[in-house]
Amino acid sequence: MIDVQTLLIYAIPVLFAITVHETAHGWVASLLGDHSARMMGRLTLNPIKHIDPIGTIVVPAFLYFTSGFIFGWAKPVPVNFNALRSPKQDMLWVAIAGPVSNLIMAIFWLLILWLSMNNNSLFLGGMAQVGIQINLLLAVLNLLPLPPLDGGRVMSSLLPPKISYQYDQLEPYGLFILLGLLFLGIFQTVILPIVQSIQDWSYSLIGLI
């Protein structure tokens, strides 16, 4: 039997984390000259507009029913980097917008956690803890300097043009490289310790630790 409350505790923070992440990319791109996301109706916090059948539904549902853990992704917001006013420079701001939005969301959930502690709300407290963890996880994971992750875009914008072009050639293989790194344990040895350290520090700010 499905535990609806537990499902909501996980699903709501994950859904909003990936939705806000993608909207942030499109919003910053629009500010800098590329209105692709706006024209396609993607500058919205309506989760339905950002649903990816595999990443938002199939994968999270599979993980929930097999491990009790939920993780997923939204449909990427379209960005035409050539339409940006300064493509190489502006690419950095468009890319960094996603992880920054997740850090802001983590702060929002931290405030919710603090409020739940004062009101003894286990439901909100549980949801807030998931929200903090998933947003920190998305921020750290996406900042890995590997195209097509956001960190890869940031790295590409900082490199000299010739090296940047060569670096960008990794993009078709980026997903396979990432999967290989995850298989080799980068999640447990690099990503998770960073997330845990930031999370512990955040909890200490509200007296949870």
Count how many residues are written for the chain.
Answer: 209
Residue 151: per-residue pLDDT: 95
Q: For the chain, how far is it from start to end, CA to CA, in angstroms? A: 34
- Residue 52: which of 37, 72, 74 has the closest Cα? 74
Please name which of 129, 74, 76 lies closest in space to residue 106, comparing C-alpha atoms. 129
The pLDDT assigned to 128 comes to 96
* Model pTM score: 0.89
Q: Report d(CA 49, CA 19) in Å as an integer.
A: 9
Low pLDDT (below 50) residues in the chain? 1
Provide the pLDDT for residue 195: 93
Residues 6+ apart with CB under 8 A from 12: 127
What is the domain partition of the chain in residue ranges? Answer: 4-205
Cα 3 to chain centroid distance, Å, stands at 26
Helix then strand count (H, E) for the chain reads: 10, 0
Active site residue 22: yes
Q: Write out the two tokens for 39.
A: 């024209």
Give the separation between CA 22 and CA 100, rounded to whole angstroms. 11
Q: Per the residue annotation, which of 22, 34, 90, 150 is the catalytic one? A: 22
Cα 56 to chain centroid, rounded: 13
Distance CA 66, CA 43 (A): 33
Give the list of residues 6+ apart from residue 53 with CB closer than 8 angstroms, or none.
Answer: none
Quote the crossing angle between the two packed helices 122-142 and 192-205, to the nearest 10°: 140
| C-alpha 106 chain-centroid distance | 11
DSSP string computed for 94-114: HHHHHHHHHHHHHHHHHHHHH
Backbone torsions φ then ψ of 82, nearest 5 degrees: -70, -20
- Listed in sequence order, the residues at least 6 apart from 20 whose beta carbon sits closer than 8 Å to its beta carbon are 45, 101, 102, 105
